[in-house]
């Protein structure tokens, strides 16, 4: 009861804020609402003192402004909703996609307190210099520049064990004080609201609003431990260790803990500063293509991608190398999902709409009772207008947005693992197009996708997968034999002592156990023959 009352009071504050920004429009989309909400919807704007209605702003812009005022949890909610064009509409979703979490910084003394508590040393022992003013302040953390002194090996002919001290520039990320409790309170509210929405708007159930909140909650939980973000950066650095055109800051693990992360400082130009990039002589066409290439390698090759690739998190370093920062939001895709995405995109962009429909059915995303031909027709309605445009107007992001919009007609449930990918693809395409307006996502993506499909879906790849599956089964054989032994023991224990003696005199083993051993032997023989055939 106390939790419900707290939720209600918090909801009143939220409603008042939304009303002041004239952002309660989404309530009009509900078929039925409780009477008290309808009453509040009608009269609440009267009490919205200081209302800031601006007729020049779109619905999504007003909602984004309201969420920004409500604080970190609601900024994250807005970012999560920015991928749901099927729920909010394309224009509103795009407006929320521009939501940025630039917030006032917290005091330096709080930053010092967090660092010293987490790393168990005075600030002066950890850093030779530490800028008291943050360079960035976001919803969850803020970043300070600092310097550290390190001892490195510097052998000489006279002294092979000689060392030298160097000073290195670093960036230190620190969580906001009390942020965990603030998020926990609001996430519980989001679950409550999602449950109410699904209760009073049954059509929303297929959108899996509760699942959206769960996904957001999981993401926030990961972001609350900066050691996990550091590990994500380290993993991506390994994935691109041999790539001369992409890099990740190096993590200083000795100065990293749950609420503090230290990494090498990036000396580069923000990818949003187009004029500075031109002045530095960088090839914008090459940079735009590299953004798409890096994104596709993350998704298809590694199944592990940076899910927040907006302008503020991308820099251009020496030699035109793309450098990414902020690994708090990451996405993972298993091999089956990657195969689905690659084949679906390839089918769309080669005009094979029936195959585009088939892969949706094969993945189980469209219910089996729906018409394949009708879904292929719907796919054609999306693809033809896009593919019929000039090459510089074809948008992969728009294709995905429209594809998700037909989900209601075919009772498709929302696939949370694809929503984060959709959002990232839209963002990556937007970054590339901001550098070069004529860049075409598909022209850059097609050879990469085609190459990956040949390696992972061609005849050789299928044979390799079958062989791999065979060896995986072979590894399980000892466990199968052990299980057979356990079953044999159980069978022997069930027989009476007298029956056992008679059976053992007549046969070395009882008939049931004999059949079990014969079956196991047949399985082993068949598997050996199968692997031999593949090897030949």
Cα–Cα distance, 126 to 252 (Å, whole number): 11
Structure-derived torsion over alpha carbons of residues 141, 143, 147, 153, reported in degrees to the nearest 10: 60
Q: Which contiguous run of DSSP H or E holds residue 503?
A: helix 497-506
Triad 296, 424, 18: Cα angle to 5°: 175
Start-to-end CA span in the chain (Å): 70
Residue 473: CB partners within 8 Å, gap ≥ 6? 527
**HEC profile of 248-312:** CCCECHHHCCCCEEEEECCCCEECCCHHHHHHCCCCHHHHHHHHHHHHHHHHHHHCEEECCCCHH
The DSSP call for residue 57 is S
The dihedral built from the CA positions of residue 476, 479, 481 and 484, taken in this order, carries a sign that is negative
Helical H segments across 145-273, by residue range: 179-200, 209-223, 226-239
Strand partners, 315: 270, 323
Contact 42, 76 (CB under 8 A): no
Distance CA 352, CA 482 (A): 49
What DSSP designation does 146 have? E
d(CA 329, CA 310): 12
The C-alpha atoms of residue 100 and residue 105 are separated, in whole angstroms, by 15
Rounded Cα gap, residues 206 and 411, in angstroms: 7
Cα distance between residue 404 and residue 408, in whole Å: 9
- 336 in catalytic set: no
Report d(CA 486, CA 481) in Å as an integer: 9
Q: What are phi and psi of 394, to 5 degrees?
A: -80, 125
Q: At what angle do helices 90-97 and 416-435 cross, to 10 degrees?
A: 70
Q: What letter does residue 166 receive in the DSSP assignment?
A: E
CA distances from 377 to 197, 342, 380, 410 (A): 32, 20, 5, 12
DSSP annotation of 175 reads E
Selecting among 101, 308, 373, 485, the annotated active-site residue is 308
Q: Which residues are catalytic?
A: 308
């Amino acid at each position: 009861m106390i939790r419900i009352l707290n939720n209600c009071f918090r909801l009143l504050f939220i409603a008042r804020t939304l009303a002041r920004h004239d952002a309660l429009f989404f309530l009009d989309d509900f078929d039925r609402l409780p009477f008290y909400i309808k009453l509040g919807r009608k009269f609440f704007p009267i009490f919205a003192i200081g209302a800031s209605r601006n007729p020049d702003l779109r619905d999504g812009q007003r909602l984004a402004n309201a969420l920004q005022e409500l604080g970190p949890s609601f900024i994250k909610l807005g970012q999560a909703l920015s991928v749901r064009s099927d729920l909010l509409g394309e224009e509103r979703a795009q407006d929320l996609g521009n939501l940025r979490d630039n917030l006032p910084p917290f005091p330096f003394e709080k930053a010092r307190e967090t660092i010293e508590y987490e790393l168990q040393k005075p600030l002066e022992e950890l850093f030779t210099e530490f800028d008291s003013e943050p360079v960035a302040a976001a919803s969850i953390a803020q970043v300070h520049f600092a310097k550290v002194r390190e001892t490195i090996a510097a052998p000489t002919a006279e002294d092979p064990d000689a060392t030298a001290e160097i000073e290195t520039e670093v960036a230190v990320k620190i969580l906001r004080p009390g942020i965990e409790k603030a998020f926990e309170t609001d996430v519980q509210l989001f679950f409550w609201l999602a449950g109410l929405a699904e209760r009073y708007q049954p059509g929303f159930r297929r959108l899996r609003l509760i699942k959206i909140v769960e996904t957001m909650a999981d993401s926030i939980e990961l972001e609350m431990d900066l050691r996990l973000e550091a590990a994500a950066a380290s993993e991506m650095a390994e994935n691109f260790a041999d790539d001369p055109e992409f890099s990740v800051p190096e993590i200083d693990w000795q100065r990293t803990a749950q609420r503090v992360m230290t990494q090498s400082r990036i000396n580069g130009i923000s990818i949003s500063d187009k004029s500075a990039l031109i002045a530095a002589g960088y090839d914008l066409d090459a940079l735009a293509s590299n953004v798409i290439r890096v994104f596709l390698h993350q998704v298809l090759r590694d199944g592990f991608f940076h899910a927040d690739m907006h302008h503020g998190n991308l820099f251009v370093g020496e030699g035109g190398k793309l450098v990414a920062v902020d690994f708090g939001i990451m996405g993972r895709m298993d091999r089956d999902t990657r195969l689905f995405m690659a084949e679906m995109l390839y089918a769309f962009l080669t005009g094979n709409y029936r195959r585009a429909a088939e892969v949706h059915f094969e993945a189980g995303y469209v219910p089996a009772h729906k018409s394949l031909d009708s879904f292929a027709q719907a796919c054609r309605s999306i693809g033809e207008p896009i593919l019929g445009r000039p090459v510089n107007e074809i948008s992969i992001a728009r294709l995905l947005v429209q594809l998700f919009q037909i989900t209601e007609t075919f009772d498709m449930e929302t696939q949370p693992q694809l929503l984060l990918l959709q959002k990232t693809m839209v963002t990556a395409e937007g970054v590339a197009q901001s550098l070069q307006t004529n860049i075409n996502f598909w022209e850059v993506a097609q050879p990469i996708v085609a190459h990956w499909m040949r390696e992972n879906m061609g005849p050789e790849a299928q044979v390799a997968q079958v062989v791999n599956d065979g060896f995986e089964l072979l590894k399980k054989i000892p466990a199968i034999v052990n299980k057979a032994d356990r079953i044999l023991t159980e069978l022997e224990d069930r027989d009476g002592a007298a029956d056992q003696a008679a059976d053992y005199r007549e046969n070395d083993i009882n008939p049931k156990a004999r059949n079990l051993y014969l079956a196991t032997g047949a399985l082993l023989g068949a598997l050996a023959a199968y692997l031999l055939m593949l090897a030949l």
